[in-house]
A and B are shown apart, each in its own frame.
Chain A
Amino acid sequence: MNDIILDVRNLVTEIRQRRGWLRVVDDMSFNVRRGEIVGLVGESGCGKSMTAFSLMQLFPTPAARVASGEIIFDNRDLLKLDARALRAVRGAQIAMIFQDPATFLDPLMTLGNQIAEPLRAHNFAGDVQARTRELAAQTGLPDPDLIAQRYPHQVSGGQKQRALIASAMACAPKLLIADEPTTALDVTVQAQILDLMRDLRDQTGAAILLITHDLGVIAEMCDRVYVMYAGKIVEAHTTRDLFHAPRHPYTQGLLRSTVSLESATTDLFAIPGTVPNLNDLPRGCRFAPRCPIVSAQCANEPPFVAQDERAVACWNVERARAEEIWRLEIRD
């Protein structure tokens, strides 16, 4: 049996613009093993959410498409499935949860019915009510029978997210895609939801693709990480190595600019400049205009990326590793 549950190869996703198609995900390759928690980290507009929507082939805007690539899930290419076969996968074998649970819950439907909905949609053979109660208890919803009768507006944000997770886990998916699942929650509730997701992984063996901009969340949750910048993966590594020996200049800068209670220094660090406009990308490396160790090659040629779990997309990676490259700050 194959250990890898999701293998994405050379994924390209585009959105329609007034003139032509714009690449928002460009040649992404990554994988997730069974039972693994893999992080996809990046700043807004880097394409991390579009990657998630590509996996489900459900786009928030109709004018988006997967242009090329392969999405091998459980040894089948999802891009080659017809609509009917794809529907059998979505919500059953791959489930997804989102940042704002309120938007993804139906305000006119009780939480119990929403948790049970995927069971009904996928013709669950057992006792739907018993399974719903079990899911509510498993996700830590207090008083499962009572809460099943409630409508979304009657419960707190944390409970809404628990209900959404219960619904996602209903058909025991092999992969859960979590797009910023705790960003809208308070820190004390965020800690509870992260614990819950980790427990569910341990109990059910579901793999989790965790999409977030928060490196703290990545450090707490993930086995491996992919870092995205302007539509591309710039670095991949185990979480431990990524945090202790980041190689790509962007990853190094991102880690240094992260503010936390435990940061050793009280110095603020900021990467100068801004993320490039996808309509007007640099010819070579997309990070080159902000990079402290940019060389002539960087400006002209996109860096070579090996298709591997420890890839780093930088021409000067030896230098980036050897020197403290962000010592000198460049004015923007």
Chain B
Amino acid sequence: MLEGTQLTRDFRVRLGLFRGSANLRAVDRVSITINPGETVALVGESGSGKSTLGRMLLGLIPQTSGALSYRGTDFAQLRGDAARQFRADVQAVFQDTSASLNPRRRVGESVIAPLLFNRRLSAQHARVESAQLLERVGLDPKIFASRFPHQLSGGQRQRVGLARALASQPRVIVADEPVSALDVSVRAQILKLMQELQAQEKLAYLFITHDLGVARLIANRVMVMYLGVVVEEGNAAEVFARPSHPYTIALTLSAPVPDPTRARSARHLLGDIPSPLAPPPGCRFHPRCAFAQAICKTDAPPVREFENAHRSACHFAEQVRGNKSE
């Protein structure tokens, strides 16, 4: 339904007063498909390019190269009604709920706006429907519609964000770290709500997160990004059961597990993510990789494919695969 092919996005970065600028490739030839009703999790650490990819799919920033299409039509060809339909169909939910709602607008008005513009309802209809939307996300409209965002908790604001996205009757919601800023118990409430809404509305989610636990729970498919490239992708259950890229393995070992009797894994990744301004040559992960050989320093790895379109961009994917415990 929503498809990106070989997407690349460059940013010019000023280095300093007299040092000119440099090119930062935030996303490098990434292909992604989002099918109706499915949840794709985009996983990676900061600087991996996952948010940039999300913004391109929303049409918020143009790609430097590559192609984007919505229901078979190229983004560039979307004009008039088709463009309007796209903007209604593909909605966004963001991490920082205090920045993504207008602080001077009552939350009821924030939910009404897309009803007026995208759905073209009359003011009266819009008011009735906005109340229903607030109710669906678990907020009593009698109490909340007239409140301002600062009077709400983070979890309540994220509920408003969801209601506003739902107002346009979308097919896809790009959710960029929607629960990262929330407390444990609130996080579970929001994830649950998102699952319920998905089942009712047949929504597709592009769920951007750094939290593997959340990804495992909510996603049908997973894509793991590192420094602008996809290093592994596949069916969520398979990726977590048999991670086939050293970076994915390292991520699964680094995540703290709420069980004190489990032995801590000894092997942690060394070092930090290198600067995306000067990504390492060859495989971008090789300076931190426990399996790296000479070839990894010079040649970018080809993509290996296993069953069910489980792909890994690693020279030694076969050996690494299922080697999780070592």
Residues of chain A whose beta carbon lies under 8 Å from any beta carbon of chain B:
43-44, 156-159, 186-192, 194-195, 213-220, 222, 239-240, 243-244, 253-255, 257-263, 266, 268-272, 274, 332
A residues in contact with B258, CB < 8 Å: 215-216, 218-219, 243, 255, 258, 260, 262
The stretch from B2-10, B99-107, B115-123, B186-194 touching chain A is B186-194
Bits for B237-279, please: 1 = Cβ < 8 Å to A, else 0.
0001000000000111111111111101000111011000000
In the assembled complex, the Cα of A287 lies from the Cα of B300 at a distance in Å of 55
Q: Is the CB of A268 within 8 A of B188?
A: yes
In the assembled complex, the Cα of A239 lies from the Cα of B256 at a distance in Å of 14
Q: Is the CB of B216 within 8 A of A261?
A: yes
Beta-carbon nearest neighbor of A259 in chain B: B213
Given contacts A186-B210, A266-B217, contact A260 B255 (CB under 8 A): yes
Q: Is B305 an interface residue (CB 8 A)?
A: no
Q: Is B54 an interface residue (CB 8 A)?
A: no
Bits for B151-194, please: 1 = Cβ < 8 Å to A, else 0.
00111100000000000000000000000000111111101100
Given contacts A259-B214, A268-B192, contact A43 B260 (CB under 8 A): no
A residues in contact with B251, CB < 8 Å: 187-188
Q: Is the CB of B46 within 8 A of A186?
A: yes
Q: Is B212 an interface residue (CB 8 A)?
A: yes
Beta-carbon nearest neighbor of A268 in chain B: B192
B residues in contact with A213, CB < 8 Å: 183-184
A residues in contact with B259, CB < 8 Å: 219, 243, 262
Beta-carbon nearest neighbor of A221 in chain B: B256
Q: Whole-angstrom distance from the CB of A149 to the nearest CB of chain B?
A: 18
Q: Is B146 an interface residue (CB 8 A)?
A: no
Q: Is B96 an interface residue (CB 8 A)?
A: no
Q: Is B195 an interface residue (CB 8 A)?
A: yes
Q: Whole-angstrom distance from the CB of A119 to the nearest CB of chain B?
A: 27
Q: Is B45 an interface residue (CB 8 A)?
A: yes
Given contacts A243-B261, A266-B217, 8 further A-B contacts (CB under 8 A): A43-B184, A186-B45, A186-B46, A190-B256, A191-B269, A218-B258, A260-B255, A261-B255
Q: Whole-angstrom distance from the CB of A67 to the nearest CB of chain B?
A: 26
Q: Is the CB of A259 within 8 A of B185?
A: no
In the assembled complex, the Cα of A281 lies from the Cα of B58 at a distance in Å of 43
Q: Is the CB of A257 within 8 A of B187?
A: yes
Q: Is the CB of B183 within 8 A of A259?
A: no
Q: Is the CB of A259 within 8 A of B187?
A: yes
Report which of B138, B188, B257 forms a contact with A262, defined as CB distance below 8 A: B257
Beta-carbon nearest neighbor of A220 in chain B: B256
In the assembled complex, the Cα of A189 lies from the Cα of B210 at a distance in Å of 13
A residues in contact with B38, CB < 8 Å: none
Given contacts A195-B268, A219-B256, contact A188 B250 (CB under 8 A): yes
Report which of A190, A243, A260, A270 forms a contact with B185, defined as CB distance below 8 A: A270
Q: Is the CB of A270 within 8 A of B269?
A: no
Given contacts A195-B268, A220-B264, contact A268 B256 (CB under 8 A): no
In the assembled complex, the Cα of A62 lies from the Cα of B301 at a distance in Å of 56
Q: Whole-angstrom distance from the CB of A196 to the nearest CB of chain B?
A: 10
In the assembled complex, the Cα of A216 lies from the Cα of B255 at a distance in Å of 8
